[in-house]
Chains A and B, each alone.
Chain A
Amino acid sequence: MKIFRSALGLAAAALWAAPMFWLGAPGAFAQTAGIQPVSKPIPRTPGGKPDFSGFFDVQYTPNMAMGKEDAIPYTPSGKAAYLNHDAKDDPTSNCWLPGVPRIMQSPYPAQFVQTPDSLVILFEYMHTFRSIPLNGRPHPKDMEPAFMGDSTGHWEGDEIVVDTVGLKGPPWTWLDTAGHQHSDNLHVIERFRRTPDNIEYQYTVDDSKMYAQPWTLKRVYTPLKLTPALPELIEYSCSENNRDIPHLVTTKPGLEQK
């Protein structure tokens, strides 16, 4: 098992009083910034904040293990939940909202809209949106769990940090297409950092029922050019002619298809 850490990771880990496991790219934000030409500034809003607005490829991540399944710090029940999942039960087959972080790693593009008060992300996937306030307001107390939970954001220097709780547990949402599971105890911490050319996106899964320690991925969202004769976000109509569900077959060996 290979564990990557960074200055940022250690700082973040202090917040959660647990070491931080990195899966995927080992480079911390600061290292990536170092390879950029110093002269090229990051885009900024008229108010001086880094500008995340634009049309981006949210890097498709169907399997958050990214080839390092052994590195995922499962609890025994988290491991069992993953081993026992059945791909035919993928909740998104029902056109349910994919949850956080799954919505952030779809194969379809997203439009980021930033105002002084909020970061709004419009997704082609599921034709849906996240509206994240940037005033750091607290989470509601005793909220009704929601597919997309409750997200609250704030600025830490030039980074937007988004904290999400209130997410539904199984069977409503999965972490990813590969079937990594989470509980209703899931807490997601996302950090958005604008570089001159991209958005660096770091997200941490904190779910003590399923994972012994928080674990973190870093992805890069790259700007997309508009395809001629197509809109930014093509209408994704999940329910239109959705006949899949009765035809999905089990992926669990030894089980008959129901």
Chain B
Amino acid sequence: MHNFLGPFFTSGSLAAIVAAAVLVAPADAQTRSDSTQKVIKTSSTKTWIPTRTPDGQPDLQGVWTNATLTPFERPAELAGRATITEQEAREIEKRASATPADAPPKPGDPGGYNSQVWSDGGSTWLSTRQTSLVVDPTDGRVPVKPAAEAKRKYDLEHVADSYEYHSTWERCITRGVPAGMFPAGYNNAYQILQSPGYVVILSEMIHEMRLIPIDGRPHLPQNVRQWNGDSRGHWEGNTLVVDTTNYNDKGVIATSAATGRIKGIHQSEALHVVERFQRVDADTISYEVTISDPEIYSAPWRVAMPLTRDSSYKIYEYACHEGNLAMGDILRGGREKEKAEAAGK
């Protein structure tokens, strides 16, 4: 299946959730004082004795999903609140499931995905009840520097000028690391495998794989640069820590519309990503990622979310380039627009 329009899809359901969140009653003072970090820790301090692979690694293997209604950054309406209440979460889920039919496309608009055709962006709030996937800084907002925001804005205004203004996902190059772990509107599944010396992550979207050595070898030399950098893993107790460096400076930190204003923020060669995977019970991995890139952000920031085991999930073949006509059409549309404007002068 081909999902090219996905990255362009502005999630109607997300807008509905934010609207719903505005309508729910303010939380009590106790909830306000909770730090999201504490909420995340709560789920990871349960006594869980991990099963082990034959070579002794804590076992992370299986098919995991992370589709969620929880927004990437904290909406303004939830400012000052690290969590919502259980009741609020149920209310938002109820409203999301009752989202009315999408309006038909306007004349001249070719349309895109909608809730009637297909989307699979999750129907539940995260079990942690955190108000954003971004948990550090504590306001749930990514500390993007103004110049990086301006660069993103420029790109968005020029998508009809060159493929280079599109994200790496739209170009079918890669969803990115860690962008490939951030929830999107569909295909939110990952298969983790372990064999002696390696952890492997297969991603449904865009049919990508990561081969992560855990044998203690050093990072690649600084002159070797890749879109997805160079990942090295090691175990700290029962937590898999994956350190990624050696990025090229052509990628973006997030590729899905579900990441809102962070989609399309560029990355520099100084990007440093540290992910932590800890299985906290049979069906849950606590996933955290800390992102540092001093050229782009005024401080490191952190995303945390559970990954949920779903053994019944069937990972389909995501064929990014099949029937991939949108890029050419967007650029041709840009040229037609220029012609029309020139003719009108």
B220 touches A235 (CB 8 A): no
A94 to B327, CA, bound (A): 13
| CB within 8 Å of B: which A208-227 residues | none
Q: Would you list which residues of chain B between 66 and 110 have a CB under 8 Å from chain A?
A: none
What residues of B have a CB within 8 angstroms of the CB of A239 in the complex? 171-173, 321
Residues of chain A with a CB closer than 8 A to B330's CB: none
On chain A, the residues within 8 Å of B286 by CB distance are none
If A96-B322, A114-B195 touch, does A129 touch B54 (CB 8 Å cutoff)? no
For A12, list chain B residues within 8 Å (CB): none
B202:A115 contact, CB within 8 angstroms: no
Chain A residue, CB-CB nearest to B221: A229
| Closest residue on chain A to residue B231 by CB atoms | A231
A243 to chain B, nearest CB (A): 11
- B19 interface hit (Cβ, 8 Å): no
A186 vs B273: C-alpha distance when bound (angstroms): 43
Q: Does B227 contact A (CB under 8 A)?
A: yes
Q: A233-B211, A239-B172 are in contact. Are A147 and B319 (CB under 8 A)?
A: yes
Taking CB atoms, residues of chain A closer than 8 Å to B226 are 234-235
A157 vs B125: C-alpha distance in the bound complex, in angstroms? 48
B233 smallest CB distance to A (angstroms): 13
- Could you give, for residues 172-213 of chain B, a 1 whenever the CB lies within 8 Å of some chain A CB and a 0 otherwise? 111000000000000000010111101010100001110101
Question: Counting CB contacts under 8 A, is B43 at the interface?
Answer: no
List of A residues within 8 angstroms of B224 by Cβ: 229-231
Q: Are A96 and B319 in contact (CB-based, < 8 A)? A: yes
A146 to B55, CA, bound (A): 35
The answer to whether A120 and B193 touch (CB under 8 A), given A94-B321, A129-B202, is yes
C-alpha spacing A53/B211, complex, angstroms: 13
**Cβ of B230 under 8 Å from chain A:** yes
Tell me, in angstroms, the Cα distance from A122 to B202 when the chains sit together: 9
Question: In the bound complex, do residue A128 and residue B207 qualify as a contact, i.e. CB atoms below 8 Å apart?
Answer: yes
Does B209 lie within 8 Å of A115, measured CB to CB? Answer: no
Q: Which B residues are CB-close (under 8 A) to A148?
A: 317
Whole-angstrom CA separation of A230 from B224 in the bound complex? 8
- Alpha-carbon distance between A96 and B315 when the two chains are bound, in angstroms: 18
The one of B55, B195, B316 that contacts A113, using a Cβ cutoff of 8 Å: B195
Name the residue of chain B whose CB is nearest to the CB of A228: B221
Q: In whole angstroms, how far apart are the Cα atoms of A114 and B194 in the complex?
A: 8
| B13, CB-defined interface residue at 8 Å | no
Q: Are B202 and A131 in contact (CB under 8 A)?
A: yes
Is there a chain A Cβ closer than 8 Å to B228's Cβ?
A: yes
Q: Does A253 contact B (CB under 8 A)?
A: no
Interface set, chain B 313-345, CB cutoff 8 A to A: 315-317, 319-322
Q: Indicate which residue in B54, B172, B207 contacts A46 across the interface (CB closer than 8 Å).
A: B54
- Structural contact, B319 and A113, CB atoms closer than 8 A: no
Q: Is the CB of B211 within 8 A of A111?
A: yes
State the CA gap A127–B220 with chains docked (Å): 18
**Would you call B321 and A237 a contact (CB within 8 A)?**
no
- Give, as a whole number of angstroms, the nearest-CB distance from A39 to chain B: 24
A240 at interface (Cβ–Cβ under 8 A)? yes
Name the A residues within 8 Å of B322 (CB-CB): 96, 147, 172
Q: Does A47 contact B (CB under 8 A)?
A: yes
Whether a CB of chain B sits under 8 angstroms from the CB of A251 is no
Chain A residues near B55 (CB, 8 Å)? 46
| Cβ–Cβ contact B211 & A47, under 8 A | no
Question: Is B61's CB within 8 Å of the partner chain A?
Answer: yes
Give the shortest distance, in Å, between B217 (CB) and chain A (any CB): 9
CB neighbours (8 Å) of A240 from chain B are 171, 173, 227
Chain B neighbourhood of A146, CB < 8 A: 316-317, 319
For residue A226, give the distance in angstroms from its CB to the closest CB of chain B.
9
With an 8 A cutoff between CB atoms, is A161 at the interface?
Answer: no
Cβ distance A151 to chain B, nearest Cβ, rounded Å: 11
* Residues of A107-144 contacting chain B, CB below 8 A: 111, 113-115, 118, 120, 122, 127-129, 131, 144
Measured between alpha carbons, how far is A96 from B150 in the docked complex, in Å?
34
The reply to whether A229 and B220 contact each other, CB–CB distance below 8 Å, is yes
| A115 in contact with B194 given A148-B317, A229-B220, A237-B227 (CB within 8 Å) | yes
For this complex, 29 residue pairs linking A to B, each with C-beta atoms less than 8 Å apart, are A45-B54, A46-B55, A47-B54, A94-B321, A95-B172, A95-B320, A96-B321, A96-B322, A97-B317, A97-B319, A113-B193, A114-B195, A115-B61, A115-B194, A115-B195, A122-B209, A127-B174, A131-B202, A144-B1, A146-B317, A147-B317, A147-B322, A172-B322, A231-B211, A231-B224, A231-B230, A235-B226, A237-B174, A237-B227
Known: A128-B207, A239-B321. 11 other contacts (CB 8 A): A47-B54, A96-B321, A111-B198, A129-B202, A131-B191, A147-B322, A229-B221, A231-B211, A237-B227, A240-B171, A240-B173
Which residues does A use to contact B, with CB under 8 Å?
45-47, 53, 94-97, 111, 113-115, 118, 120, 122, 127-129, 131, 144, 146-148, 172, 229-235, 237, 239-240
